[in-house]
Amino acid sequence: MKREALALEVTSVVLGASRDFLVREGFVELLPVILAPVTDPLRTTPEWAVISAYGRSWYLTRSMIFHKQAAIRVHPKIFCFSPNVRLEPAERAQTGRHLFEFVQLDLEVRGASREEVMDLGERLLLHILSQVRRECGKSLEREIPEYSRPFPRISWQEARQEFGEDFEVELSRRSKTPLWLVDFPIDQREFYDREDPKRPGVLLDMDLLYPEGFGEALSGGEREYQLERLKARILRQGLSLDAFRPILALAADGLPPSAGFGIGVERLVRFICGFPHVAQVRLFPRVPGEEAPL
Ligand code: ASN
């Protein structure tokens, strides 16, 4: 089968398997938000995509993090296939992992702990992989190993000490199984990741890395939800309270504690198919710095 067609088939199975799994777990699907008065600060992506309409500016969604926090006020378990636009620097075209328009399967659970969503993430990934093996196994150019749970985990500090600056690349390259990177230092992540009340300066967050050098799979954690803590974290990052007024207004009104994560759909399909670049997963890829014919 041609690679383009294989990518479409695998993507379709990934979406279906994710939906089936999450609906069985009691989740409801949220329709995506594309334009919003506030979006994810993501300090590693300095450019913002903004349009102007009706006399004001609208951000194109970088992630639905704040909408997820708002949505779990209404329903305890939500997910969304969320299109995100992130104007990554053009050099990131070479990483094999970056598109400036991509889709993430983003979910959030009211009252959940990090442990609970890590458990969910492992079960979700294994379910998707087994469904893909069943439905597309014959067409795949590689075999996806059976991974066992729980996946190993390593803290950010340990990983950094053991593998140096490029620990994420190194860990993913050496690993034969998906593995968790946990406990990022407070200034490495965004203000919405919750600081561990028992370990100041350490976040209750996580990334999941794919094995064989495919890099980051998923990112998430517990959330800050209390007004004063959110304000302190925004200011600590040198951001203005005014820019995040909508999320502060929600917190003032009452945000429940929650945890969640987002898993990049194209990266997952790339990993399953063993493709060198995520652009091969999309029929109409948006590669940083490159023209698009259609
Ligand atoms: N989806 C991520 C999360 O849930 C946020 C992100 O994509 N930046 O934490």
pLDDT in tens, 66-104: 999 999 999 999 999 999 999 999 999 999 999 999 999
Q: Which atom of ligand 1 is nearest to the CA of 261?
A: 4
User: Given this model, what pLDDT does residue 233 score?
Assistant: 98
Which helix (H) or strand (E) covers residue 21, if one does?
helix 3-24
Q: Which residues line ligand 1 (CB under 6 A)?
A: 40, 42, 63, 65, 104, 106, 219-220, 260-262
Average pLDDT score over the chain: 97
User: Given this model, what pLDDT does residue 240 score?
Assistant: 97
Q: What is the arithmetic mean of pLDDT over 253-265?
A: 98
**Within 10 A of 240 (CB to CB), how many other CB atoms are there?**
9
56 Cα–ligand 1 center, Å: 26
11: nearest Cα among 260, 274, 281, 229: 281
Nearest-CA residue for atom 6 of ligand 1: 63
pLDDT > 70 fraction of the chain, expressed in percent and rounded: 100
184: nearest Cα among 196, 172, 173: 196
Q: What is the arithmetic mean of pLDDT over 208-235?
A: 98
pLDDT in tens, 24-34: 999 999 999 99
**Within 10 A of 4 (CB to CB), how many other CB atoms are there?**
11
pLDDT in tens, 8-26: 999 999 999 999 999 999 9
The dihedral sign for the CA sequence 48, 95, 189, 182: positive
Is the pLDDT at 1 greater than 80, yes or no?
Answer: no
Nearest-CA residue for atom 7 of ligand 1: 63
Nearest-CA residue for atom 2 of ligand 1: 262
For residues 45 and 67, the answer to whether their CB atoms sit within 8 Å is no
220 Cα–ligand 1 center, Å: 5
User: Given this model, what pLDDT does residue 210 score?
Assistant: 98
Q: Could you tell which of 30, 33, 40 is best to mutate to test the pocket of ligand 1, judged by most ligand atoms within 8 Å of the CB?
A: 40
Q: What is the arithmetic mean of pLDDT over 99-128?
A: 98
Nearest-CA residue for atom 1 of ligand 1: 262
Q: What is the arithmetic mean of pLDDT over 262-280?
A: 98
User: Given this model, what pLDDT does residue 133 score?
Assistant: 97
73 Cα–ligand 1 center, Å: 18
208: nearest Cα among 92, 146, 120, 285: 120
Query: Structure tokens of 286?
Result: 């948006």
Q: What is the arithmetic mean of pLDDT over 92-117?
A: 98
Instruction: Give pTM, 2 decimals.
Output: 0.98
